[in-house]
């Protein structure tokens, strides 16, 4: 039976890098954001139902995220309708991934793990964290958003302290070496738990 480890962390905390470290250590990794991209791509499972509900959101046979954002800004009810279409498809993608895995540990990279209650569907959870200053520096270094946009995103996310308190494991991503050591420690702890199960 594959052990399901939910991985989460706020913007700029190093979640993608940490997911890559789990993959390099031999874990299977499923990425919720990548699943949404697959669903929105040409011939993706979300294209037809979203086209039916919001025809303006489709460009070149794909779901356009910018168009969706504009629709949601103009109509708060739209977000609930979109989530009602997309969430079951993402859950199906995740279930199919888990059924096909032979690895001992499957890492489920889910940004809103606690916010959506998906922490109840995993065997353990891990939150990645770093200092607020390092978090901000990382996001600003990407050059993809303003400080105001970053503050708005951070304000919408569950506070880092709460994520750390709710997680079974916490990985501090202050340096790559330190993060990699902690990833290894988490894997070893899960393996020990499996032997005693």
Beta strands 58-59 and 62-63: pairing type?
antiparallel
List domains and CATH numbers for the chain.
1-27+105-197 (3.40.50.300), 34-102 (no CATH)
pLDDT for the residue numbered 164: 96
Enumerate the β-bridge partners of residue 169. 126
* pTM recorded for the entire structure: 0.89
- List, for residues 176-196, the tens digit of each pLDDT value: 999 999 999 999 999 998 776
For the stretch 35-70, what's the b/e string if a residue is b when 16 or more beta carbons lie within 10 angstroms of its beta carbon?
bbeebbeeebbbbebbeeebeebbeeebbbeeebee
pLDDT tens-digit series, residues 121-168: 999 999 999 999 999 999 999 988 899 999 888 888 899 999 999 999
Cα dihedral across residues 165, 167, 170, 174: positive or negative: negative
Q: How far apart are CA 37 and CA 176, in angstroms?
A: 27
What pLDDT shows up at residue 193? 86
d(CA 132, CA 2): 34
pLDDT over 60 at 197, yes or no? no
For residue 116, the 8-state DSSP code is T
């Amino acid at each position: 039976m594959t052990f399901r480890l939910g991985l989460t962390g706020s913007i700029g905390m190093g979640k993608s890098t940490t997911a890559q470290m789990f993959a390099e250590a031999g874990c299977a990794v499923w990425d919720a954001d990548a699943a949404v991209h697959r669903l929105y791509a040409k011939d993706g499972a979300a294209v037809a139902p979203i086209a039916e509900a919001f025809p303006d959101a489709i460009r070149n046979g794909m779901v356009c995220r910018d168009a969706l954002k504009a629709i949601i800004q103009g109509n708060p009810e739209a977000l609930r309708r979109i989530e009602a279409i997309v969430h079951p498809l993402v859950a199906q993608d995740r279930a199919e991934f888990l059924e096909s895995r032979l690895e001992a540990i499957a890492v489920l990279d889910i940004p809103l793990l606690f916010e959506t209650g998906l922490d109840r569907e995993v065997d353990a959870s891990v939150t990645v964290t770093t200092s607020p200053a390092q978090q901000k520096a990382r996001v600003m270094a990407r050059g993809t958003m303003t400080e105001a946009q970053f503050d708005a995103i951070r304000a919408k996310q569950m506070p880092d302290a709460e994520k750390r308190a709710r997680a079974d494991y916490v990985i501090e991503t202050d340096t790559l070496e330190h993060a990699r050591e902690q990833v290894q420690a988490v894997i070893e702890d899960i393996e020990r738990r499996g032997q005693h199960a």
